[in-house]
Structure 1
Amino acid sequence: MEKIHLLLLVFAALAILAAGCTQPTEEHRPAPVGSQVTITVPVPPVPVQSRDGTNLAYELELLAAGDEVFTPETVEVIDPDTSKVIYILDDALLASLYHPAADPLPSAAELQNGTGKLPVPRISLWFVVDPDAVPDRLVHRVTLNMSGSGKPPLTLTGGQVAVRKDLSPVVVGSPMRGPGWLALETTAPNTHHFSAQITMGGVTRVPQKYAQDWIYVDPVTGKAVEGDPGLARNYYGFGKEILSVANGTVVDMLDGLPDHERIYSPQGVTIATAAGNYVIVDIGDGKYACYAHMVNGSVRVVPGDRVIEGQVLGLMGNSGNSDLPHLHFQVVEEKASFLGAEGYPHVYRAFDVTGEVNQTRGMEIATDPDFTNEKLWSEFDTLVSFYPKPVHQQESLPENWVILDLP
């Protein structure tokens, strides 16, 4: 698992999110016949509902022949049936979602055993469309800065893909119960879950594409911790019960890894220990529910156990690649693996949105010269506002930085 990045860089990144829908840049010359860069879509998008609309999330791969050196300047997503540009990715957001190939390229052993080094450049795309206007197909017009190859800018059109309207997200129950659950690093382009490209077994995937990090805050005050904010056990979420989101069969688990005593202190994390103490449940149809970072000694199931929705699997902890007590939850397909399988969309059957985090205020705190992680979490209640009335949602992903009451 990647860490929870509630640091200066994350709050600064929030300012980038509005940059996704802007006016196109100036026209560049079209690609000549026989262009040495091709665009493909490795995994077609599946439409996923959230409060703000229908989410489409996927990646472009840019394969260059020879020694072409380029940097993307603009990506335009086009509905080929209407020729309408439905989304533009450029400027700072594009810079953060462009993943160049590693230099040097990953070794054969790394590609097989697991690495975040990319063999081929990728661009991550996550945007929202009106539920009544989801395109059947998408095509992409990409403008490349070719100055690294001593050439003028180049505009390519490619990456045509059918939107997988024939597929639906997995509908799951609640991984915890009650009010006060903050959803983080989800349903937005600039999150560490969506950006993490992992190559394992020779295949590059985005295992955590639709993942959430869940943190507990007091549902009345919004506070996250009592006492020394540097101690993980002082966080209200530490030790909370984690529940199976569906009926299924446990296929993998790990227990016995220590919880990090202090927040933001994981060391020596490997691919094998990144999820900390964890459980993976086969929930049918080739889909697997993955739960990470449980308390040492708290896992209550073993492979082969049949579980039912709502059954306790373990307790929320701070093991593995975790910065503070939380549950990392994701669904993957085809293989029971946190990092070696493609992420598959899930939606929660029902929940009430009861509040949200003031991201603007968070940015102000993060830029304070006296900013520390401990200070952020000790004052977290100053960022939280609760709604006069909860907003009910069904079969939806939560938006980023909202607080839920889970049934």
Structure 2
Amino acid sequence: MDHVPLPDAGFLDDWAARLRQFADRPVVGIMLRGSHARRAATPHSDVDLDVLVGGAPYAAWRAYLAETPGRLTHVSVAARDVRSWVARLNEPADWAFGLPVHAPARLLWADAHWRRRIDLPVLCQPAGAPHLEELIATLGKVAGARAAGDHLGVRLAAGDLARLCPSVLRPANPSVRVVSRRGAFAAVLRLPVAPAGYREDMLLCLGLRPGATGQLWAAAVRLVAGCLPLIRPYAAEIAEAAGPDLAAALVDGRLDRYVAQLTRPVPARREASPVPAPRAGEWVTVPVPDAPVTGAPTDPSAPPAGGPARPSQLDPAIAARLRRTPDGLVAAVVRQHDSGEVLMVAWMDDEALHRTLTTGRATYWSRSRQEYWVKGATSGHHQYVRSVSLDCDGDALLVSVEQVGAACHTGHRTCFFEELPVTGADAS
């Protein structure tokens, strides 16, 4: 959109004279900022003026509706003592998501003493420090609100978390300078070094994409967990902002473990068992369901376990070694190939195993949707297969993968994040 000029050529001169006349402190300079200064104004833009005054620290804001032929113009005036105004140029802008600012400005009037120091065609402010400590603390706030069932609290904290995230990623990305809040937002969404799914997770946490609170929680976890490996090489810069211990925790893995701890649900208080404890000399009978422990249905009309339920190109020698459930499936236990961390359990039929072995991408059979699915095809959390092993009985597979992002649909790194209380006596 083309720049919309001010109502007439003398508009700014008139306002500069008016503000000098009616100011309650000696004025040393008046400057035009904002969209009109950078020639990006629309018919709806206000006129931003900084009035710089002498003397002790001072700050005041005034708003005016100026009557001009055919329209009203909103004039927004920020008055500040000149020394504080100059000092603020050495501080990060609070609207820039931690990015450095180079915003055009135009000096309308200044006294001779201050003109050289404030006649700046561009107002430069430095980048913000990486707010890693605040990012971790805010994830804790999201977790706390979620645990309390505070849906509004989840949304508010997730929005704060998303605003902090770009400052943490900034050291890992090429330098970019911004001139406006809108430009800063566009720039942070385009950061080339960012976690998988970063843009969508940012928009979701900021409330710019619809989503349930559970989805916001998962997005917040992905943002924080995904940032840590990307900024690990910049621990020295983290140390300057947050101290040496947090930087060391980033390098030695404590921070990753702390994030995992935040994502782990608080164990619920144990309820009394509905099965009465036996008295001495008594037996207690506990009913046991008929379904096998694998969770496979016991449908007598289902195809026999000896053969696949669907056509497949799987090597017949491998197929002959499989012992399938009645619906033709084999359990697949998935682990991280280098650490051995167990990530998830899913199901494969013969064709899913064939695709996994021949494409190198983990492919499963969805029992609920009755279709094949490739891990990460929609979420971006891909699983690149390193090896597949068959259990000695042929009824389970061990799939070793390189996991990108979270393995669990909840946003957790692993599906096995909820620990159950173990109260049995020590066998030793």
Task: Tell me the TM-score range normalised by the shorter chain.
Answer: under 0.3
Question: When the two structures are superposed, what TM-score results if normalisation uses the length of structure 1?
Answer: 0.24
Identify, as 1 or 2, the structure richer in helix.
Answer: 2
Q: Which has the higher strand share?
A: 1
* Higher-Rg member (1/2): 2
Q: Which has the higher contact order (CA 8 A, sep 6+)?
A: 1
